[in-house]
Structure 1
């Protein structure tokens, strides 16, 4: 990774954080909880830019502009909202599980030979 890429990434992240701070307080609180949840669950594309997180901010900005409360946008079960967002996404846990399964199968195949 070039130094220019790192600088550009920091600029993008700062702009992203500024968008979050511009949201109403209730939206900021829910956004931060969603962010923590997603970082914990670990969908792979979350680390590829800020696409998913920016999409959430887009949704929140639209909801706030329409005068909706944040739970009108996400529903009352915010974890279920997050799970629905990433239901088809590969997570780091999935990648790890596949590698463990592969190792077990390789070991099993060795023993059979």
Structure 2
């Protein structure tokens, strides 16, 4: 990754943040809570940025239509967010898989008398 890529990434992130700030307050609060949750849960494909851009597009359309954010996604923000990533592997999943693999390798290793 070169300096040009880093600068382009920063430029895109700043534009993304500006779009978030332009959302109505209720949308902005829900978006930021979803973002915090997703950063914590850590879907592996989060780094490509498409998920956040898609959520933001969806929220902008809902706000433009005059729909309340909870009318758009439902009353359970966590369930909605989980639904977005239900088929995506998370870093926690990868960690669990590596632990299971190490346990299997340890169990398969012959013991010394």
Give the TM-score taking structure 2 as reference length: 0.95
Partner of 1:38: 38
Unaligned runs of 5+ in 1: none
| Equivalences, count | 112
Structure-1 separation of matches of 2:30 and 2:73: 9
Q: Structure 1 74/112 Cα, relative in aligned 2: closer, same or farther at 3 Å?
A: farther
Structure-2 separation of matches of 1:52 and 1:102: 30
Partner of 1:57: 56
Partner of 1:11: 11
Cα RMSD, aligned residues only: 1.2
Deviating above 3 A after TM superposition, structure 1's stretches of 4 or more consecutive aligned residues are: none
Question: Shift of the alpha carbon at 1:112?
Answer: 6.7
Structure-2 separation of matches of 1:47 and 1:99: 21
Structure-1 separation of matches of 2:27 and 2:45: 23
Structure-2 separation of matches of 1:55 and 1:112: 52
Partner of 1:76: 75
| Secondary structure of the structure 2 residue equivalent to 1:57 | helix
Give the TM-score taking structure 1 as reference length: 0.95
Unaligned runs of 5+ in 2: none
Question: Shift of the alpha carbon at 1:21?
Answer: 0.8
Question: Shift of the alpha carbon at 1:79?
Answer: 0.1
